[in-house]
Amino acid sequence: MGERDGIPISLEELNKLKEIAERARRKVIRMLFYDQTIHVGSSLSSIEILTTLFYRYVKDGKDPINRDWFILSKGHAAPALYAIMSERGLVSDDDLWKIQDISGMLQGHPETFIPGVDMSTGSLGQGLSFGIGVAQGIKMRGGSGRVYVVMGDGEQDEGQIWEAMTHAVARKLDNLIAFVEINGFQLDDSTGSVKPKEFLPDVWRSVGWKVLNCDGHDFISLISTIDEAIKAKAPVVIFANTVRGKGFPVIENTKKQRSSPDDARKYLLNA
């Protein structure tokens, strides 16, 4: 731990996380060679969050109550999850290049038959409710597991989020940490032009969640925020500011999810 300047991570570990994230980012972009319909923009916005969680927090194991659970509620960011899983050795690079192919294992959205996937998602607004069920189950059995749920900002339009938000507070689930990625875009347009989102942290706070904010691409910000979340005695939501298409200039900070194999090739050659 880097105690000298209050940064709770060594330079070595930080560099390792950066390298993993960068490799995962390149893998997501490389997937464009093989399938141009994957959601690259949303995936790139989640890379650092997933890297941080899987390489520093999510405790593996077979025992469902003494391990951690990870739920990618914004299931369209599956390529990011798969890229991190390939880094962890759970799926092969060959699997990655067969994403969405009829002969491949990796589906367009996460499925529980894929190694390392805890919930089949793809229909927005459901991950938090499932996470509440798991967190409650762990509590009832006296387990030590924690549940991490990653959602998008557009996803917050779903009414079920409201149902789940109030439910987690009613159950006092302090083993539940939710992320809302604020990348400013949903499928059709910017989030601001579809439905206002600015009030969201106030709503979550008002109903009883501990609300934290961080830079979703900055490891130090992510780590210090998650460390604080773990200590909280209430369900915690972390609003993570991210950039859609982060690091891939042709779509960065636009509503575009996709790009051409040519753009991907240029990026991978030059970056």
Partner 1 sequence: MMQGNIYSMRDTFGKLLVEMGEKLKDIVVITADVGDSSRASYFKEKFPDRYFNVGISEQDMIDFAAGLSATGFKPVVVDFAMFLMRAWEQIRNAVARMNLDVKFVVTHSGYSDSGDGSSHQCLEDISLMRVLPNMKVIIPADPADIKRSFPVIMEELRGPLYYRVGREYSPSITDGLEYDFKLGKAYVLKEGDDVTIMGAGVVLWDALRAAEELEKKGISASVINLLSIKPIDEQTIEYYARKTGRIVTIEEHSIYGGIGSAVSEVVVKRYPVPMRFVGATGFGRSARSQRDLLDFYGINYKSIISSVMELLK
Q: Which residues bind partner 1 (CB under 8 A)?
A: 64-65, 69, 112, 118-120, 122-123, 125-138, 140-141, 143, 159-160, 163-164, 166-167, 170
Q: What whole-number distance in Å separates Cα of residue 53 and Cα of residue 115?
A: 17
Q: How far is the CB of 76 from partner 1 (least distance, A)?
A: 14
Q: How far is the CB of 167 from partner 1 (least distance, A)?
A: 5
Q: How far is the CB of 261 from partner 1 (least distance, A)?
A: 31
Residue among 75 and 184 whose Cβ is closer to partner 1: 75
Residue among 50 and 128 whose Cβ is closer to partner 1: 128
Q: How far is the CB of 115 from partner 1 (least distance, A)?
A: 15
Residue among 69 and 204 whose Cβ is closer to partner 1: 69
Residue among 92 and 112 whose Cβ is closer to partner 1: 112
Residue among 92 and 166 whose Cβ is closer to partner 1: 166
Q: How far is the CB of 265 from partner 1 (least distance, A)?
A: 36
Nearest residue to 217 via CA among 47, 6, 5, 29:
47
Q: What whole-number distance in Å separates Cα of residue 132 and Cα of residue 150?
A: 13
Residue among 160 and 254 whose Cβ is closer to partner 1: 160
| DSSP per-residue letters across the chain | -BTTTTBSS-HHHHHHHHHHHHHHHHHHHHHHHH-TTS-HHHHHHHHHHHHHIIIIIPPP-S-TTSS-EEEESSGGGHHHHHHHHHHTTSS-HHHHHTTT-TT-S--SS--TTSTT--S---STT-HHHHHHHHHHHHHHTT----EEEEEESGGGGSHHHHHHHHHHHHTT-TTEEEEEEE-SB-SSSBHHHHS--TTHHHHHHHHT-EEEEEETT-HHHHHHHHHHHHH-SS-EEEEEE--TTTT-TTTTTSS-----HHHHHHHHHH-
Q: How far is the CB of 173 from partner 1 (least distance, A)?
A: 11
Residue among 127 and 247 whose Cβ is closer to partner 1: 127
Residue 101 CA to chain centroid, in angstroms? 23
CB 246 within 8 A of CB 187: no
Q: How far is the CB of 270 from partner 1 (least distance, A)?
A: 40
